[in-house]
């Protein structure tokens, strides 16, 4: 991972002092999140090193590792430097016994085929349990080009469920819709402009449920029952949920 000198005029934190911008940052892990985060910090002029294990020489150590090993890897870090993880689902307490800690979760889907620019314009959920930790979390989010918002630890599972619905289930919706179009003889790639326009239109609901056309909805269900019966209950749940969102809007 690239190295650079820290920007002029910034101080180095003491061994156990409060928050100050770090002179040396280690990003542990080089997957989708680690490569994007490390690349962005290096591009901003910070000294950034990588590695699969904490080296103990950095002032800030960012754990960009799978959720299931965050606690295990954190225990390998000597108490002293600031420690942060990038998970949306994993609680802050996973970094115990460290007290100089915080979390920054980029609310964005990341791929290895793209660089740090995929962080641009994304939001980030931040969490901490000390004033200095909150300061550090906001600093890191800002350096990454993210728009930070505070997240209470008790709300973390609900927040992450919402993120999964918006991102993971969108993939599921596309795959299901593509299957149905393919079986009807229509080109599945025709769905992409439609799905993009829904976002461009601010998620304004259109279609049969929006206009109360339940006859068309029943025709959909009849077709699914005949030609894709495994998707009939899936469609019913989505239709009922969509109707409920209209009634409560």
Q: For 44-103, what is each residue's pLDDT tens digit?
A: 999 999 999 998 889 999 999 999 999 999 999 999 999 999 999 999 999 999 999 999
- Whether the CB-CB separation of 163 and 152 falls below 8 Å is answered with no
Per-residue pLDDT at 6 exceeds 80? no
| Count of C-beta atoms within a 10 Å radius of residue 119 | 21
pLDDT at 16 over 80: no
16-20, 21-25, 240-244: which has the minimum mean pLDDT? 16-20
| pLDDT confidence band for 12 (50 / 70 / 90) | very low
pLDDT score of 55: 86
Q: How confident is the model at residue 154 (pLDDT cuts 50, 70, 90)?
A: very high
CATH of domain 158-247: 1.10.1040.20
Closest CA to 85 of 27, 40, 153, 163: 27
Record the pTM: 0.88
In sequence order, the 6+-apart residues with CB closer than 8 A to the CB of 73 are: 28, 53, 54, 63, 65
Whether 9 has a pLDDT exceeding 80, the answer reads no
Average pLDDT over residues 160-180: 97
Q: Do 101 and 95 contact (CB within 8 A), yes or no?
A: yes
Tell me the pLDDT band of 230, cut-offs 50, 70 and 90.
very high
Of 116, 112, 123, 119, the C-alpha closest to 40 is 116
Same fold, 25-151 and 158-247: no
Indicate the class that CATH gives domain 25-151: alpha beta
Mean pLDDT of 110-135: 96
What is the per-residue pLDDT for 43?
96
- In this prediction, residue 3 carries a pLDDT of 35
- pLDDT of residue 11 exceeding 80, the answer is no
Domain extents for the chain?
25-151, 158-247
pLDDT band at 30 (very low <50, low <70, confident <90, very high): confident
As given in the structure block, the two tokens for residue 55 are 């080296």
To 5 degrees, how large is the angle CA 186–CA 169–CA 242? Answer: 80
């Amino acid at each position: 991972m690239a190295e650079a000198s820290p920007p002029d005029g910034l101080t180095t934190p003491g061994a156990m002092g409060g928050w100050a911008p770090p002179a040396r940052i280690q990003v542990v892990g080089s997957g989708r999140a680690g490569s994007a985060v490390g690349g962005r910090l290096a591009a901003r002029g910070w000294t950034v090193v990588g590695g699969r294990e904490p080296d103990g020489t950095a002032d800030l150590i960012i754990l960009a590792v799978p959720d299931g090993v965050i606690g295990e890897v954190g225990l390998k870090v000597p108490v002293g430097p600031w420690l942060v993880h990038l998970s949306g689902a994993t609680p802050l307490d996973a970094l115990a016994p460290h007290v100089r800690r915080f979390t920054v979760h980029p609310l964005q889907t990341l791929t290895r085929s793209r660089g740090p620019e995929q962080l641009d314009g994304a939001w980030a959920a931040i969490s901490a349990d000390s004033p200095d930790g909150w300061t550090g979390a906001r600093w890191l989010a800002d350096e990454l080009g993210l728009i930070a918002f505070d997240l209470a630890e008790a709300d973390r599972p609900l927040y992450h469920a919402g993120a999964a619905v918006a991102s993971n289930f969108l993939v599921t919706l596309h795959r299901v819709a593509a299957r149905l179009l393919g079986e009807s003889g229509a080109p599945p790639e025709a769905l992409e402009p439609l799905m993009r326009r829904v976002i461009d239109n601010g998620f304004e609901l259109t279609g049969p449920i929006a206009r109360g056309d339940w006859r068309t909805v029943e025709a959909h269900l009849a077709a699914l029952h005949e030609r894709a019966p495994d998707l009939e209950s899936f469609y019913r749940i989505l239709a009922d949920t969509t109707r409920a969102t209209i009634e409560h809007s």
